[in-house]
Structure 1
Amino acid sequence: MGENPARIDLGRVVAVTLFAIMLSVNAVRLAGTHPLSHPLSAITTVLTMAFYVLLIWAYLRRSPSTRTDLRWSSWLVAFLGTGAPFAIPLVSRDGFREGGSLAGIAAVVLCLGLAAMLWALGALGTNISVVPQAREVISHGPYSLVRHPLYAAELLNVVGLCLATTGPGPWVVAGALVVFQVLRARREEALLLNELPGYAAYKERTPMLVPAFGRS
């Protein structure tokens, strides 16, 4: 049985509010960045803002799900997977690197990760959700390469964040994030296998996170 479309989508309200705040924070950051002196930093900020704009647009247009995983453990893993990257600057030994070749490499990786996130989010469209929900099977674009391209792109983005910061703390968070995202993906897939016709065949032919790297 589908969910009542007349009910207020509380998840949408909370998500749009939070993403709008993050969009505003990045807009302020961009305003304080000289694009000629820090071109890669400006580019990553613009890509981050574009990602939040797409998220807000997707959530505003999101249709009701046919099923939601209401287990507290699934929600905990989902929110840990979503929030973990924000902890990376907090556990860095000396904050962000101010310059040097490693900072440049980090900026390039961040740009690649953010671009991949935008591609995945564009393909996902209005099927976006933080917690496991069933809507429809998406198998085009990056979803033809892996089942969870948005998570894969986020992990690439986190590698960039780890390179941009100092100390072992960020890498510990990155390792924990891999665990969270794999568990999160497993919970989502269990729901989709039970709810969506065609997902089993899609899962069988498409790798999980790394293209051409198994089907588990």
Structure 2
Amino acid sequence: MQLPSAQLYFIALGVSEISLALLKRSGGSTVKKDRSTFGLLWLVIGVSIGLSFFVAGAVPYFGYPFTLFGYGTGVVFFCGGVLLRWWSIIHLGRFFTVDVAIAQDHTVVSDGPYRLVRHPGYSGVLLSFLGLGLLLHNGLAALLLIVPIFVALLWRIKVEEEALTTALGKAYTDYMARTRRLVPWLY
């Protein structure tokens, strides 16, 4: 039985994210606060993917053997991350844009996936890339994929939270005080 390779999962995620980027840019009734984080994030993701694929093929020293359990875990993390990301986007509704932007009537969304963490969409991105990292069967390649994307997301979260705190004030700072950023009960 031939199982899909990591490249197919990268392509599927890429098509999903490019579609989102084309369809969900901020509109006229929003104030952009992005500070170039959207472009930076895409640059980091692109470089990380390219570098991780190169290392997975060129540096076998850090490779580990294929197992059905490892493959299955990677697929479950990938699919779970994609589902979490889309649940977050759908739940956020018209307040979701790919660039950091504040709508004129923006409010704090604190139910659905947002009751567990402040940035469930980014948690989904990280979970998906963790799954993809496992599918590469190379520890160094997985680290080169996940760590830079995590750091870029932390910068974007900082910018996003500054914008939301400025726009929503105490309502958002209260939400921040009771809800973790990315991982329920931990971080």
Normalising by the residue count of structure 1, what TM-score does the alignment of the two structures yield?
Answer: 0.64
Give the unaligned 5+ runs of structure 1: 1-35
Matches within 5 A, 1:1-216: 38=3, 48=13, 51=16, 55=20, 59=24, 63-69=27-33, 71-72=35-36, 74-80=37-43, 83=46, 86-87=49-50, 90-94=53-57, 100-101=67-68, 102-135=70-103, 136=106, 137-167=108-138, 168-197=140-169, 198-213=171-186
Q: Which amino acid is 2:30 matched to?
A: T
Contact 1:81 1:184 in 2 (8 A): no
Report Cα offsets for 1:147-194 as digits up to 9, x if no partner: 100101111111101100033123123111111111110111101111
Contact 1:63 1:126 in 2 (8 A): no
Residue 118 of structure 1, CA deviation: 2.0
Q: How many residues align?
A: 175
Greater RCO, CA 8 A, separation 6+: 2
Change (3 A) 1:81 1:171: same
Report Cα offsets for 1:6-56 as digits up to 9, x if no partner: xxxxxxxxxxxxxxxxxxxxxxxxxxxxxx964899xx69x8599559837
Distance 2:23 2:94 in 1: 5
Residue 83 of structure 1, CA deviation: 4.2
Identity score, percent: 25
Change (3 A) 1:52 1:131: closer
Distance 1:183 1:88 in 2: 21
Give the unaligned 5+ runs of structure 2: 59-63
Report Cα offsets for 1:72-107 as digits up to 9, x if no partner: 4x4554434654664365334239x99632222211
RMSD (CA atoms): 3.6
